[in-house]
Structure 1
């Protein structure tokens, strides 16, 4: 019997790992937005090597093909976050091209043809209406000369003509045409609400000429969040509502709203993007759906009449999308040992047929850390949730008696959710000897409305307290080094990072990716979709000024004495570069160790392969320099101002 080779003892951060920054950048293909068109399965795939271009793929008769070759970039910026960038029907696809905002049509096998005329108008969430030779879509008009764009639901004719169908609200989403084409359902909401706070579901009749008549409110309001309206094959309207405190499924029939499956589980999620799908119809009598319990996704079959939910066994713990037809069930899903993939699921037996994987060649299991789902006590008697990753590397271990440093991650959003799906960006750290805690702080989705509303008026407080409590919890259990606690986050998670370092003396250093440092500045620079979000997260405008100043790290740099590294896309419209630059200048002037990397051509989130490589390697070098550990061979040097040699 051959003995396993003995592991080499080495300091955290110096372990040799097959998961390089280049592997992180090139190894995971962003997959999104599944669609079914008869027997065909379509999806979007990112191309990091092509400056983050997103392309439309189709699987037909077992063969995959690209439908939108370069330079086409299938992406929309409606609400800035986009989604719902294409539709498919009968072999024809319609899509938004990111470079010019125009809609294009591509007949089966043909070259894309431009439909629309104005580059300053954006479109999303398309629904083909072939009987009237048009698409129904959400439109965002930047031509109007207003402070913010004007949002409507419009019809775009196949000849390029446009007609506004619904207007008057600040925001629209999910226009859905009934199977017989005689009714249109849609969602709308107004400032200051975000869609996960309160939305309205409307239905109108569609005249033969395509105009709408007799619009009527079906459900929703100021304090009820509705998402994903869908019509059954027989023409009954279904939707997801959180009126019970959980996003559950409902049916509208004969003027009455009926709950389908009352359960302390989430059958929907926050509408940051268009086109989300967590359920669909196999028939009038059966829905295939995904739902989240305790932060873990499950798949199930739901009887629309008996309201019986039967679990379907899968290996997944995160199911981001479900698309359903009478013949097919497709999912976009992953687990701690499965990177995101698109697969067909047989709902009768759970058999899985993988169509495409985001990572073709995974590192050996010995280099992958499988997280533990934990709950732990936070401040004021709250319970918080997180995924804990221990260091893992087949070839290396820590020196005897040494505990690993911990990286705490505060997710963005902040109304978002950390999931346990295998991510090379996390394994990059764990395979180098770092422990990681990915926190679902109060305010995260996936745990019901009461948990989500914990962040109401408390952004920069509850999220920070839960991250601090998580680090202390692991240190108290002897799992991590209490003197080497780190925190990192992007966007809203960047604010969490900055507040944790400014207002608490727990973390040694931190990394902010396009993070918020000045709440007032965020209001001043924010795009329309989020321009009133802080009224919920922080305070109504009448009381906001004092609270903004109290919570904005930029006004308390005298209390920030820990080293920081900042990463900022120069084209970011959500958190403009000025936010990071002002913070860096303040730390630089005060003599606090600081590093700052800017990335041209990047917005809110980094898509280019070289951007991912640069930022990951710089962040690793930053932590090692802060800990006084010599940089491994091949890791680029990093300029850190005010850090003693």
Structure 2
């Protein structure tokens, strides 16, 4: 029989240690025509080494390919992605340690095919006609901040940094060679755009030393084109948001036509990382997924008739679709199933190849998210996932309402997804409610929704996170007097801005949160160096706007208890940004805690620090919100608060 205890004080089976347990992290999938599967796994116990894996056939045995110390990873655009390709039984990959390209023949050790140089490579593809690789190259030899991006050809026998084929744009994605080897397409864009703002798709005749007869197929400063794929019919397929939504198109004989009737759905996603893939050809069919109202859906598409057939699945989130003649592979997850590498074909349906781990709690204790829409500023609607408290061993006293924690995601041009997360179940199994907000500017809801954050970072995100909490409180689903907000990095900025410029929240937690957004405009890497132009305004012309929206400039207005978590080696958000705000709270008698970690940068990676931060956050909320915890947690020093 369930025990009656107040919300927030339930004993949970989800420990902080479980958040850093043996969860397998996977990325980047390849599937060859002979049905050999490749992917990448991360080895935290080997200093986060990225390892290439293979499964030679459906009934075969998983093998680890790249030996220590090689790490199959790239830092092109800083966020990387697509670090390898496979040619026959030979693996070509970027090594994170020295950024050189390597070749690893079957059964042999890796050998470098580019020299030591301040170059980075990504998204290599094989030019079979000329026996060479074509890849994106990022040249840091003159400047680390403003590197030069090009598309280059690399002869693996010559040990050179590559012959430049395409140059002149600030950034490149998706070099793709036509099946007959005569043409190449690519995507490029220039500052101040990000790839979800505006890109251009080009095609040209591929030569030994360059590309000529170049024509633009699609795109422009206000059209985002992504994911070009040559179809087996010789046509070029791509995704464009020309209707306001990323939909699938075909270019053939100089004409562009939609593959299916345009939908208010997203067949694309923001290219924070290189090589995203929402669709692939399985024989003559397209296997594709789209996002709509916070969930993903998988389809079979006949590219010539436009007929689409839903593929039924319990999965709600997909990524990295690859296919050959007989099957498709992808990553998939759901609110109750952790991320897995899965295979699908009409005969066998879905089969799990590799799981990131089992859900380590009882199914009856998993809080399943509810997609909610709520009213926000200017008569608009925003989106979020609401997770109610869930623990079969407890019920709350009559009339009790749960405390609410608002999760603010990073990016800020990103999104949160309805997938199983121990970081959320940690709270819901203790009797907290959680709302994970996809504020205006988040992806998955069309271009107009993405664009809401233009000139409005620090306004729209703050309004939407605040209004999500107030909406749930007005519905009587949470306690309006116990509202908390948390976030890291850009999400930490939204957290601090909510606590500084609004009065709805009673407590907050900032994980290496940005408090001076002007610093992001002044110093950052090339990929994001003009990102702030659209989110806030050009620097330094808009300095007054940056100052008006930076919590650090208005520390005297922050009058809610906050716990700050800070890596002392953080170069992106230096400790002094947190310390100024901590000292202001101390001086004004407002409860504040400041937890620092030696050796940590922008994001915590050491297990003991993640555990300490998680438990400290729970302890802080309990103290401020008057919750009696069911477990002992090492106390956190809180200034301006009675000691235990």
Superposition deviation, residue 589 in structure 1: 4.8
SS of the residue corresponding to residue 216 of structure 1 reads strand
CA deviation digits over 1:46-98, x for unaligned, max 9? 23344433222212233112222433332222111111122223222222222
Which sections of structure 2, spanning at least 5 residues, go unmatched? none
Could you tell me which residue of structure 2 aligns to residue 331 of structure 1?
330
1:164 and 2:164 aligned: yes
Structure 1 segment 194-209 matched on structure 2, within 5 A: 194-207=194-207, 209=208
Could you tell me which residue of structure 2 aligns to residue 187 of structure 1?
187
Superposition deviation, residue 598 in structure 1: 4.0
Could you tell me which residue of structure 2 aligns to residue 528 of structure 1?
526
1:146–1:278 Cα change, 3 Å: closer
Equivalent-residue separation in structure 2 for 1:523 and 1:361 (angstroms): 41
Structure 1 segment 130-169 matched on structure 2, within 5 A: 130-145=128-143, 147-159=145-157, 160-161=159-160, 162-169=162-169
Superposition deviation, residue 570 in structure 1: 5.0
CA contact (8 A) 1:312 1:349 kept: no
CA contact (8 A) 2:163 2:209 kept: no
Equivalent-residue separation in structure 2 for 1:494 and 1:420 (angstroms): 21
Structure 1 segment 93-108 matched on structure 2, within 5 A: 93-108=91-106
CA contact (8 A) 2:10 2:629 kept: no
CA deviation digits over 1:496-519, x for unaligned, max 9? 111111111111111222322111
Could you tell me which residue of structure 2 aligns to residue 387 of structure 1?
385
1:499 and 2:504 aligned: no
Tell me which moved more, 577-586 or 403-412.
577-586
1:86–1:616 Cα change, 3 Å: farther
1:570–1:158 Cα change, 3 Å: farther
Equivalent-residue separation in structure 1 for 2:95 and 2:581 (angstroms): 35
SS of the residue corresponding to residue 608 of structure 2 reads helix
Structure 1 segment 428-439 matched on structure 2, within 5 A: 428-439=426-437
Could you tell me which residue of structure 2 aligns to residue 341 of structure 1?
340
SS of the residue corresponding to residue 467 of structure 2 reads helix
SS of the residue corresponding to residue 402 of structure 1 reads coil
Match of 1:48 among 38, 44, 47: 44
CA deviation digits over 1:191-249, x for unaligned, max 9? 11111000011112112x35322222111111000111111124321110001111011
Superposition deviation, residue 23 in structure 1: 1.2
1:550 and 2:545 aligned: no
SS of the residue corresponding to residue 264 of structure 2 reads coil
Superposition deviation, residue 588 in structure 1: 4.4
1:85–1:390 Cα change, 3 Å: same
SS of the residue corresponding to residue 565 of structure 2 reads strand
Superposition deviation, residue 113 in structure 1: 2.1
Could you tell me which residue of structure 1 aligns to residue 620 of structure 2?
622
CA contact (8 A) 1:413 1:493 kept: yes
CA contact (8 A) 1:204 1:215 kept: yes
Superposition deviation, residue 35 in structure 1: 1.2
Equivalent-residue separation in structure 2 for 1:584 and 1:525 (angstroms): 24
Superposition deviation, residue 294 in structure 1: 1.2
CA contact (8 A) 2:128 2:181 kept: no
Equivalent-residue separation in structure 2 for 1:100 and 1:186 (angstroms): 26
Equivalent-residue separation in structure 2 for 1:183 and 1:421 (angstroms): 40
CA deviation digits over 1:155-195, x for unaligned, max 9? 23213222122111111111112222221111111111111
Could you tell me which residue of structure 2 aligns to residue 427 of structure 1?
425
Equivalent-residue separation in structure 2 for 1:572 and 1:130 (angstroms): 44
Superposition deviation, residue 640 in structure 1: 3.0
CA contact (8 A) 1:527 1:573 kept: no
Equivalent-residue separation in structure 2 for 1:400 and 1:51 (angstroms): 50
Using the size of structure 2 for normalisation, the TM-score is 0.94
Tell me which moved more, 318-327 or 586-595.
586-595
Superposition deviation, residue 11 in structure 1: 4.4
1:173 and 2:197 aligned: no
SS of the residue corresponding to residue 544 of structure 2 reads helix
1:139–1:600 Cα change, 3 Å: farther
Structure 1 segment 261-340 matched on structure 2, within 5 A: 261=260, 262-283=262-283, 285-340=284-339
CA contact (8 A) 1:194 1:533 kept: yes
Superposition deviation, residue 282 in structure 1: 1.7
Equivalent-residue separation in structure 2 for 1:156 and 1:598 (angstroms): 46
Superposition deviation, residue 582 in structure 1: 4.4
CA contact (8 A) 2:145 2:524 kept: no
CA deviation digits over 1:331-383, x for unaligned, max 9? 2111111111111112x367110011111353111221011111111122111
Equivalent-residue separation in structure 1 for 2:588 and 2:71 (angstroms): 43
Equivalent-residue separation in structure 1 for 2:111 and 2:592 (angstroms): 49
CA contact (8 A) 2:28 2:320 kept: yes
CA contact (8 A) 1:28 1:424 kept: no
Could you tell me which residue of structure 1 aligns to residue 229 of structure 2?
230
Equivalent-residue separation in structure 2 for 1:93 and 1:573 (angstroms): 35
Equivalent-residue separation in structure 1 for 2:100 and 2:28 (angstroms): 19
Match of 1:19 among 10, 14, 35: 14
SS of the residue corresponding to residue 104 of structure 1 reads strand
1:572–1:244 Cα change, 3 Å: farther
Superposition deviation, residue 387 in structure 1: 0.7
1:245 and 2:240 aligned: no
Which sections of structure 1, spanning at least 5 residues, go unmatched? 1-5
Equivalent-residue separation in structure 1 for 2:155 and 2:216 (angstroms): 27
SS of the residue corresponding to residue 176 of structure 2 reads strand
Tell me which moved more, 587-596 or 155-164.
587-596
Tell me which moved more, 597-606 or 452-461.
597-606
Superposition deviation, residue 148 in structure 1: 1.4
CA contact (8 A) 1:341 1:355 kept: yes
CA contact (8 A) 1:397 1:433 kept: no
Could you tell me which residue of structure 1 aligns to residue 445 of structure 2?
447
Structure 1 segment 633-644 matched on structure 2, within 5 A: 633-644=631-642
Superposition deviation, residue 278 in structure 1: 0.3
Using the size of structure 1 for normalisation, the TM-score is 0.94
Could you tell me which residue of structure 2 aligns to residue 57 of structure 1?
53
CA contact (8 A) 1:29 1:48 kept: no
CA contact (8 A) 2:119 2:141 kept: yes
Superposition deviation, residue 523 in structure 1: 0.9
Superposition deviation, residue 577 in structure 1: 4.8
1:216 and 2:211 aligned: no
1:204–1:329 Cα change, 3 Å: same
CA contact (8 A) 2:114 2:156 kept: no
1:573–1:110 Cα change, 3 Å: farther
Equivalent-residue separation in structure 1 for 2:201 and 2:167 (angstroms): 14
Superposition deviation, residue 547 in structure 1: 1.0
CA contact (8 A) 2:127 2:133 kept: yes
Equivalent-residue separation in structure 1 for 2:608 and 2:569 (angstroms): 16
Equivalent-residue separation in structure 1 for 2:436 and 2:203 (angstroms): 40
